[in-house]
A and B are shown apart, each in its own frame.
Chain A
Amino acid sequence: MDTRLKKSRLYSTKLKALAVIAIILCAVLICRGMLNIIENSSIWGGFTYEYSDYTDTREYKNILSQYIYDTVNTKLLYIDEDNIRSGAALDKEIVLSGFFSQYSIPNDDQWKLAELIDRYNTDVYTYLRGYDELDINDEMEKYEKYISDYDSYKMYAINAQLNDYKLANLRLAKYKNIGYYLQADSRADNGNSADFERKDYFNTSLEKIISQDKYTVIDGSYINGIYIQTIGYSFNNYAGSAESILEDRGYTLYAGAILPLEYEDELSENWANFDAKKADLPVVLVEVIIGFAVIIALFAYLAITAGQTEKGGEVVLKRIDNIFADVQTLIVIFAIVMSVSIGLFMIGELNSNYAGGFTWIAFTAKVVLYILVIIDMIILMSYTVSISRLVKARKLVEKSLVAEIGRKLAGAITRRSLKGWIVLCMCLYWLINTFFITLIYNSTGSKTAIIVLIIIFNVLSILFCVRAVTTLSKIMKTVREISKGNLNYKAEYSNVSGTFEGFAGDVELMQERFKDAVKNELKGEKMRMDLITNVSHDLKTPLTSIITYVDLLKNEKPCTPDAENYINILDEKANKLKQLIQDLIEASKLSSGNISVDKTKVDFKMLLLQAAGECEDSIEDANLSIKYDIAPEDIKISADGKHMWRILDNLFSNAVKYSMPNTRIHIELKNEDEYGVLTMKNISINPLDVKPENLTERFVRGDQARSTEGSGLGLSIAKSLAEIQGGAFEIEIDGDVFKAILKMPLWQDE
């Protein structure tokens, strides 16, 4: 129980939140430590562990080199303000080149001007007379202007030197702990300043400097001891470098901090600061290392407990896990790269803007760095936790974009999904073409080969498309044929495009299934048909007995008038039953399409007259007469005569059965479009309260009472017969007028 409790506590949200906070705190601590080291290194030009003492630092070297420069300048070059004012401290070459560039003196004039200035006491006119080819007046003016410009520039340089001299003296006063010794050595003075008093300058004894562990000796251009890079440079524009001055004047300089430091100055402060920081470094490093260790441990903890509330518990995925793992990785890498570059930029800013004290830029840079670290930590934590959740749920591979694309591709290929294929093909096509075009732009050799390749590739692509489309159109044709009812249509699938292979197979399968279905349907239809035939045969046998015995009864004498009447009714009904059974067989045959049609050229007029002749007696018996309205032209139809007779027989018997006595049957026969049209009208004895279309349905009669003779199949049979011969049969009702319209296709001579 206890351990379990502990375990679940270990997985509790509170603890995880604490870990997150701890990670951020550690990160901030590490960042602070690192910044400290970086900051100091920027001051000293390196990390404290690189230096044995302060004298190795860049800061010290900078101070020392400035000190040396100032000393050399003040003591050997400037000497005093009067000397500067006289222009003796100026280096003519430097001043001249400065003047040329400041006043943009043309190159052609420069050497003449230099010469003129060199012979300072020669007036411009005399000087220029030496070049008699010149237009003296113009040149005079120009050179006089040059000379006056040069004078003012020189004054400016002298002022700058004066200023520098004062500042140098102030700077030198600051560093009382540095000792120097300028020794006038045996090297000859170059004679540039004849009035210069050659003597040693120093603020401490040479022995004291030499007794130090570290000091700098500059003997002309040779530097011993602490190497000072900046000694070669000139700190201002109007004097040479300390090196060249020492060389010119024939001096050797000894300089260095005099230990132990006697005075409280900036140097001693910096020295103490460096010693303190150097002592702190191991502590900071340990801090950073521990911080890292803690962060790694906490990350591990978060990874282990991720997605679970107890050990071995169910892994619950978060919404963030729906982002593909590799996309997450890319985002994290991108974030890290971004923050590293931003961080480096900020550190650079810190380095260049560090002035020992507070600056806004350095402050901002630090804040940005801290924020970056915090953001990175949050991103890393979220990433770690998400990935470990996915790993634990064994969904890392599944939830990756690469896997997703792979799945889509594999799906496209295996399932033969058209969309997948098309997308794949188009991508491939695009990629290959792009590749070729890139090749053209980048190739240095012959481009013809590549162009030929492109053409071949594109022609192949077109052929591929054409093949696919051909296959598709084949399939479409098959489907069209099937839709027309041509189930046995066999498409020629010899050269099928892979894309539609499955489709073609499906269509073929569909065709087969459809065929089977139709076959089954036909089988069912045949069974039904057989059933009806058998049933009607079974009905016919007893009916035969009934009819024959009724007939025998009729001949039995004597019998009462009533009995005779009864026998007649029996006879009539038995015969009606017989008719019904025959109609039933015929209707079922027709509805199952189980009937042959032998179409010939039939004279519709003659057919009508023949039929009318056959039916005349019954028409006369029913007190009806026929009124013909027959078009004079020939009406030859394409039909099966026997079926046509059945239709007309049914129409006539229908008219005879249901017409009002003493009325006329109107028969119209004419050509209409591609049809021979027969219209038969009669006046119904009963009100026709049925819909016309219902009359051609099986077992529907105009009279709902079904009292009259007839099976109710007559019109249905007529309609079916007309339709199987390619004709049409319609019924129209207008009040009591019953109108049957029979349309049969006209005979077309080949």
Chain B
Amino acid sequence: MEKFNILVCDDDKSIVDAIEIYLKQENYNVIKASNGEEALKILEGNEIHLIIIDIMMPKMDGLTATLKIRETMNIPIIILSAKSEDTDKIIGLNFGADDYITKPFNPLELIARVKSQMRRYTSLGSIEEKSNSIKIGTLELDKDTKEVTVDGKPVKLTATEYGILSLLMENAGKVFSIEEIYEKVWHEMSFAPENTVSVHIRRIREKIEINPKEPRYLKVVWGIGYKIEKIAPVLN
């Protein structure tokens, strides 16, 4: 199997080293750079499949580097920055990054996100015409087999969880209130206020999301309900 090359670019060598350890465990090949200029140079001479890049670096910062890379390349770029403001994230994504992870990060989350991006980038297949399958991003729900996969990995859901998820996925983008979900999934009226639905939602999130606190798919609309984000399906 071909080893993918991941360029890790950060001026803090210890962080680069740590990331290298994790990525090597996952069988990736790591190329290290300490600033944007270096990263661009490496990109010229090497085949790189994914870039993890910090923003605040000497010589050339991560955002500029991202802009330059995007002029010629389409490879996934994950920004890894201590800047945690919403605006920072928006700027980063608008500059062409595919994902944004804030420091200090959870190594497992980083790996999960790297894998997710790699799959998107390297998958060569086309959309399978499964009539009874709903695909949102890398999240797929097969109505026939009642199987759910995220990033190609199967997820084990209880019947209720499956019911909730299929309801939300079928109506992606629509916000369902707790009562609606309860009525549609349990098929009974909700009388007493209960947090059953919200507990289930959280459990689903823990299973399908890389970071349940910052969900990609199953989002809480506070005080209104829950929804699955409408995201274009990713080829598998």
A interface residues, Cβ below 8 angstroms from B: 533, 536-538, 540-549, 551-552, 574, 578, 582, 585, 600, 602-614, 616-617, 626, 628, 630, 637, 639, 641-642, 644-645
Contacts and interface: CB of A to CB of B under 8 A. Distances in A.
B21 A544 contact: no
A606 B225 contact: yes
A93 B85 CA distance: 138
B146 interface: no
A626 B194 CA distance: 11
Contacts of B201: 610, 613
Contact of B222 (A540, A541, A582, A602): A602
Contacts of B196: 613
Interface in B169-196: 177-178, 193-196
B103 interface: yes
B195 A609 contact: yes
Interface string B105-117: 1110000000000
B199 interface: yes
Contact of B193 (A533, A546, A549, A605): A605
Given A543-B104, A606-B177, 4 more contacts: A613-B198, A613-B202, A645-B220, A645-B222
B197 A552 contact: no
A541 B15 contact: yes
18 contacts: A536-B82, A540-B104, A544-B15, A544-B103, A545-B14, A547-B106, A548-B22, A606-B177, A606-B223, A606-B225, A607-B223, A609-B178, A610-B201, A613-B199, A616-B195, A639-B223, A641-B224, A644-B222
Given A603-B177, A614-B198, A552 B224 contact: no
Contacts, number: 115
B53 to A, nearest CB: 14
Contact of A582 (B18, B83, B84): B84
A548 B107 contact: yes
A536 B88 CA distance: 15
Contacts of B224: 600, 602-603, 606, 641
Interface of chain A, main secondary structure: helix
5 cross-chain pairs, A with B, having the tightest CB-CB distances, nearest first:
A613-B198, A641-B222, A602-B223, A607-B223, A540-B82
Interface of B: 12, 14-15, 18-19, 21-22, 56, 82-85, 103-107, 177-178, 193-202, 220-226
Contact of A545 (B15, B177, B220, B225): B15
A545 B19 CA distance: 10
Given A541-B103, A578-B104, A616-B202, A548 B15 contact: yes
Nearest to A545: B14
A603 B15 contact: no
Given A541-B82, A551-B107, A552-B21, A609 B198 contact: yes
Contacts of B225: 606
A545 B12 contact: yes
B206 to A, nearest CB: 9
A574 B106 CA distance: 12
B18 A644 contact: no
Given A545-B18, A616-B202, A641-B224, A609 B82 contact: no
Contacts of A626: 195
A641 B223 contact: yes
A610 B220 contact: yes
A549 B14 contact: yes
B203 to A, nearest CB: 9
Contacts of B19: 548
B52 to A, nearest CB: 12
Which of B82, B83, B105, B202 has the largest count of A CB atoms less than 10 A from its CB? B82
B222 A548 contact: no
B197 A609 contact: yes
B18 A537 contact: no
Given A609-B197, A609-B198, A543 B103 contact: yes
A673 B102 CA distance: 43
Given A603-B224, A606-B225, A613 B197 contact: yes
A299 B170 CA distance: 120
Nearest to B14: A545
A546 B15 CA distance: 9
Contacts of A637: 223
A540 B194 CA distance: 39
A446 B223 CA distance: 85
Nearest to B193: A630
Which of B83, B195, B223, B225 has the largest count of A CB atoms less than 10 A from its CB? B223
A719 B16 CA distance: 40
Contacts of A544: 12, 15, 82, 103-105
Contact of B83 (A537, A606, A608): A537
A449 to B, nearest CB: 77
B18 A606 contact: no
B12 A541 contact: yes
A626 B107 CA distance: 34
A748 to B, nearest CB: 16
Contacts of B21: 552
Nearest to A642: B222
A610 B18 contact: no
Nearest to A539: B82
Contacts of A552: 18, 21-22, 107
Contact of B84 (A585, A608, A611, A645): A585
Nearest to A575: B104
B105 A610 contact: no
Contacts of A607: 222-223
A606 B106 CA distance: 31
A659 to B, nearest CB: 18
Contact of B199 (A545, A582, A603, A616): A616
A535 B223 CA distance: 34
Which of B14, B177, B196, B226 has the largest count of A CB atoms less than 10 A from its CB? B14
A614 B195 CA distance: 9
Contacts of A642: 222
Contacts of A585: 84
Given A613-B197, A630-B193, A549 B202 contact: no
A606 B178 contact: yes
Nearest to A669: B193
B63 to A, nearest CB: 15
B221 A641 contact: yes
Contacts of B195: 609-610, 612-613, 616, 626
Which of A541, A607, A639, A644 has the largest count of B CB atoms less than 10 A from its CB? A541
A537 B104 CA distance: 10
Contacts of B202: 613-614, 616-617
Contacts of A546: 104
A609 B221 contact: no
A120 B156 CA distance: 175
Contacts of B56: 537
A81 to B, nearest CB: 147
Contacts of A605: 193
Given A540-B104, A545-B12, A612 B198 contact: yes
Which of B193, B196, B202 has the largest count of A CB atoms less than 10 A from its CB? B193
